[in-house]
Amino acid sequence: MAEFLGSALLAAIVVGSGIMAQRLSADVGLQLLENAFATALGLAVLIAILGPISGAHFNPAVTLADAALGRSWRHVVPYIAAQVIGCIGGAILANAMFGAAPVSWSTTGRATGPNLLAEVVATAGLLLVILLLVRSGRGALAAPAVGAYIGAAYWFTASTSFANPAITIGRAFSDTFAGIAPASVLPFLAAQLVGAALGAALAVWLAPARRG
């Protein structure tokens, strides 16, 4: 339930803040700043409050890497199902809160070469941040560190750092600032999985033994 709730709220924050940004400002740079700021803060809070319950993955890439590096595979399927369903529900909720059709398929194509490379980089960086903190016994810093990283990655990646397969699927349900066309979803998922594998491999190389 914590993974479902956290994923739903995260998607509502990402999509909802994008809609609000569009309504408040005509400047695209300011819209991105508003979207990134809300997402970074919201994600940090969600990790802080739900981390002790479920680990606060909210992201299939994190769940898969966690299992691959020694945690139980028993939770992988239910976690990923909760994350995907939660993100879809959160996007639909955001649409409804702003008076849009609950489901409005995005028309924003994003699957360009630079964007896919950016998703590899963004997801690898996210996994590197999370896993190095955990493997060095500093998991308590995950909330501010992950929030700060995602906020920064909105700006240094061409794709604005989706870095999350569940969020990517959810954002396809909203034809708004944060949306992604359904045809772009699978290429993004592939890039994110490559990035997750790369980030996990780098984390193991840099910190071979888990501490604490």
Give the pLDDT mean for 75-91.
98
**Which residues 6+ apart lie within 8 Å of 194 measured at CB?**
120, 123
Q: What is the pLDDT of residues 111-131, one digit of tens each?
A: 999 999 999 999 999 999 999
| pTM attached to this predicted model | 0.94
Question: How far from the centroid of its chain's Cα atoms is residue 122's Cα?
Answer: 10
Q: If you average pLDDT over residues 102-115, what whole number do you get?
A: 97
> What pLDDT is stored for residue 211 in this prediction?
58
List the structure tokens of 100. 């849009």
Band the pLDDT of 160: cuts 50, 70, 90: very high
pLDDT for position 54: 94
Distance (Å, whole) CA 162 – CA 15 = 12
Of 122, 169, 174, 146, the residue nearest 50 (C-alpha): 146
> Is the C-alpha dihedral spanning 29, 111, 98, 60 positive or negative?
negative
**Over the stretch 21-45, which tens digit does the pLDDT of each residue have?**
999 999 999 999 999 999 999 999 9
Read off the tokens for 17: 């803040």
Mean pLDDT of all residues in 151-177: 98
Q: What is the pLDDT of residues 137-154, one digit of tens each?
A: 999 999 999 999 999 999
- Contact 188/119 with Cβ under 8 angstroms? yes
List helix spans (H) across 136-181. 142-156, 165-171
More reliable by pLDDT, 212 or 21: 21
1-206: what fold? Glycerol uptake facilitator protein (1.20.1080)
Mean confidence (pLDDT) of the chain: 96
Residue 212 has pLDDT above 60, yes or no: no
